[in-house]
Amino acid sequence: MLFIINIYSGFFFFCYMLHFFVVFSPYYLTFTVIINHQNIGLIFIILFPYFHGLTLVIFFCDHSSSPKFLINSCLPMVSNVLINSSILLLLVNNTNLTARAMRLTFETLGFHGYGLKFSPFSPNLLACAASQNYGLVGQGCLFILDHDPDKGIRCLRKLDWSKDGLFDLTWSEADAGTIWTAGADGTIQIWDIGSGGNSEGPVKDAKLASVVPAHQSVISSIQWSQVRSDQPTVLTSSWDSTIKLWDGLTAHHLTTFNGHQALVYEIAWSPLLSSTFASCSRDGTIRVWDKSTPPDQASLVIQASQSEILSCDWCKYDSNIIVAGCSDKSIKIWDLRSIDNGPLTVLMGHDRAVKKVRFSPHSASIIASVSYDFTTRLWNYLNSDQSFSSKSKLIITRQNHSEFVYGLDFNIHLPYVLADCGWDRYICIFANQI
């Protein structure tokens, strides 16, 4: 959450995320307060003269945020206020404020997190697909978790898959008690976690319902169709370079899509366009497909990068906007109507490959990303301030992990709540008001 309160030249302004202003009663002092509400623990106060008044800027941030981070990430958002100003920086430690923001952790003992998803039916339910030994050898595990800001994260069930690791999962959009997982052995596992699929339901009776032979190699991603008026279908992508479509109710194979020249890292259903999905691959392309057209011919091919594209996602509010996370450390946003003009925006900031990108379900312009640099970042790609390039679009950086971060998801029920997981065997659920 970003607030600006400005008392200047007889007017009091309130700005929510820099998007609108409301005029209140008159005062005669410039007084600006900016709050970057994360895990509040440190208070940064900046005083400087501004025109004929005084401006006070306050940053609230977590214990892991350094002054360098604040200067690089927060000040560009208000650079129009800070330009040509003398600055006094005062640091105050206030641990009593930490309860105002949520950060919960859970250790997946013996298993490295690969993918996680919040339930589409219950705001407190989360599932994580994990693997032993970094997914190279050993078994997989599906964790069914419940979280509460006061009580923390509680493991409802731990479901083992002895054949190989688990790399991804998707909740059924038709049945709250069903989860599909993606196996490193090329099979799909369908789990019955009990009717209702919530923390009050019989999760203790969860069991493996069926196993579906699917691909000739690792299944890298799996996703349930997002347009609920459609026939329930599920997509899988694989290191065997194919994408497959499955009936969501019977698990029968429907179609195989061919076209990528190398392994496919991820698929993403359009949340707005019926029967449309995107895929990204080691071959550097994003491909847009329609399940009603010939399966060997993508509707659109974007040569999006000279490097591998590890992740892709659709904007939830604009059917023409796609984001891609690349192994060259970049995040690229594309408008499908104008791909010949190149990407709309390129976000730079991660120090290593970008493993996962996700558009917020609560805002058209907010993107989250995780990386092999151990960080999770939030961006506002529509920030119009070009003077600081990618830095002006970076909202916040968090280092929740001490190893590669792999999984990422927004909670569709609770604004500002996200979760990530990594190879350090930890899941983190956190809240950032932006």
DSSP one-letter string for 150-166: TTEEEEEEEEEESSS-E
Looking at per-residue pLDDT, the higher value among 153 and 65 belongs to 153
Mean of the pLDDT values across residues 175-179?
95
CA-based R_g, the chain, Å: 23
Mean of the pLDDT values across residues 3-19?
35
Looking at per-residue pLDDT, the higher value among 331 and 57 belongs to 331
Q: 317-327: buried (b, 16+ CB within 10 Å) or exposed (e) per residue?
A: eeeebbbbbbb
Structure confidence at residue 325 (pLDDT): 98
Q: Which of these ranges, 189-203, 204-218, 296-310, 324-338, has the smallest mean pLDDT?
A: 189-203
Q: Which residues pair with 97 in a beta bridge?
A: none
- CATH code for the part of the protein at 102-431: 2.130.10.10
Q: What is the bridge-based pairing of β-strands 309-314 and 300-303?
A: unpaired
Whether 78 shows a pLDDT value over 90: the answer reads: no
Q: What are phi and psi of 76, to 5 degrees?
A: -60, -25
Q: What band does 240 get if pLDDT is binned at 50, 70 and 90? A: very high
Structure confidence at residue 358 (pLDDT): 98
180: CB partners within 8 A, 6+ apart: 169, 170, 172, 188, 189, 190, 191, 222, 224, 234
Whether 319 shows a pLDDT value over 70: the answer reads: yes
Q: Which of these ranges, 63-77, 112-126, 417-431, has the smallest mean pLDDT?
A: 63-77
Q: Which burial class, exposed, middle or buried, applies to 376 when counting CB atoms under 10 A from its CB (0-12, 13-18, 19+)?
A: buried
Q: What are phi and psi of 77, to 5 degrees?
A: -70, -20
Whether 40 shows a pLDDT value over 50: the answer reads: no
Structure confidence at residue 307 (pLDDT): 94
Q: What is the Cα–Cα distance from 146 to 429, expressed in whole angstroms?
A: 11
pLDDT tens figures, 115-149 = 999 999 999 999 999 999 999 999 999 999 999 99
Looking at per-residue pLDDT, the higher value among 35 and 271 belongs to 271
pLDDT tens figures, 102-117 = 899 999 999 999 999 9
Whether 61 shows a pLDDT value over 70: the answer reads: no
Whether 76 shows a pLDDT value over 60: the answer reads: no
Q: What band does 227 get if pLDDT is binned at 50, 70 and 90? A: confident
Whether 247 shows a pLDDT value over 90: the answer reads: yes
Whether 42 shows a pLDDT value over 80: the answer reads: no
Residue 368 · residue 396 · CB < 8 Å: no
- Mean pLDDT over each residue of the chain, to the nearest integer: 80
The amino acid that residue 379 corresponds to is W
Looking at per-residue pLDDT, the higher value among 72 and 87 belongs to 72
Q: What band does 395 get if pLDDT is binned at 50, 70 and 90? A: very high
Residue 46 · residue 67 · CB < 8 Å: no
Looking at per-residue pLDDT, the higher value among 256 and 7 belongs to 256
Structure confidence at residue 44 (pLDDT): 38
Mean of the pLDDT values across residues 320-345?
97
Q: What is the Cα–Cα distance from 28 to 103, expressed in whole angstroms?
A: 40
Q: What is the Cα–Cα distance from 317 to 194, expressed in whole angstroms?
A: 33
Q: What is the Cα–Cα distance from 252 to 120, expressed in whole angstroms?
A: 23
Torsion of CA 344, 422, 281, 357, to 10 degrees: -20
Residue 274 · residue 302 · CB < 8 Å: no
Percent share of the chain, pLDDT over 90: 68
Instruction: Order the strands of the 233-238 sheet from edge to edge.
Output: 219-224, 233-238, 243-247, 253-257
For the chain, domain boundaries: 2-99, 102-431
Q: What is the Cα–Cα distance from 191 to 184, expressed in whole angstroms?
A: 16
Structure confidence at residue 433 (pLDDT): 64
Mean of the pLDDT values across residues 158-171?
97
Give the Å distances, CA to CA, from 180 to 256, 321, 423.
18, 27, 22
Alpha carbons within 13 A on the beta-carbon side of 191: 28
Looking at per-residue pLDDT, the higher value among 25 and 288 belongs to 288
Whether 51 shows a pLDDT value over 90: the answer reads: no
Q: What is the Cα–Cα distance from 231 to 259, expressed in whole angstroms?
A: 24
Whether 387 shows a pLDDT value over 70: the answer reads: no
Structure confidence at residue 230 (pLDDT): 77
